[in-house]
Amino acid sequence: MSEELICVGSLAGAFGVNGEVRLKSFCAEPSDIANYGPFTSEDGSARIDLRLVRPIKSGFAVRITGIDTREQADGLAGTRLFAPRGRLPELPDDEFYHADLIGLAVVDTGGAAVGTVHAVQNHGAGDLLEIRRPEGADTVLLPFTRAVVPTVDIGSGRIVVDPPEGALG
């Protein structure tokens, strides 16, 4: 792939019996996901064309070209949808795509190494940075808020954190 791909959503299996599929959008405005297709799978092997049918709890029911049965829809469970970065909107200076943060070095306000951003999680209460510690395979989670993460410098490849007392163990 010549252009960077950004994960914009995921499929969660069948919705009903006529081939509709559950979609969870990762977009700031969830319905905007329909503007960024066609999508590819993570490895780029599958092209996915979809149409939003209606909102449902935790996402949308969608129709996907070539998917006509519940069994086919269930076979897509867990598929993450990727769109080329060029199709996505430019972000203001204080917003970031999760893909921009993964791999950045993390230091505390005194400059001491904390680790590297391994992933960005969101379990419904806001984004959490999953940081892999430099001394091993364990990770810590820090809220991705201005208070805890005062500086994100993509250009220099680092994030400065001011973690709550005891958060780093």
- Write phi, then psi, for 127 (nearest 5 degrees): -75, 145
Give the pLDDT confidence of 23-52 residue by residue, as tens digits. Answer: 999 888 899 999 999 999 988 888 999 999
Cα–chain-centroid distance for residue 139?
18
Instruction: Tell me which residue has tokens 């904390």.
Output: 114
The rounded Cα 21 to chain-centroid distance in angstroms is 19
Choosing among 2.30.30.240, 4.10.780.10, 2.60.40.10, 2.30.30.30, the CATH entry for 98-161 is 2.30.30.240
pTM of the predicted model as reported, rounded to 2 decimal places: 0.76
pLDDT of residue 118: 93
* Res 125: pLDDT: 75
Contact 166, 148 (CB under 8 A): no
Boundaries of every domain in the chain: 5-87, 98-161
CATH topology of domain 5-87: Elongation Factor Tu (Ef-tu); domain 3 (2.40.30)
Mean pLDDT across the chain: 90
- The answer to whether the peptide bond before residue 134 is cis (omega within 30 degrees of 0) is no
Query: How do residues 39-90 score in pLDDT, each as one tens digit?
Result: 999 888 889 999 999 999 989 999 999 999 999 999 999 999 999 999 998 8
125-158 pLDDT, tens digit each: 788 999 999 877 789 999 999 999 999 999 899 9
Both structure tokens of 149 = 């993460």
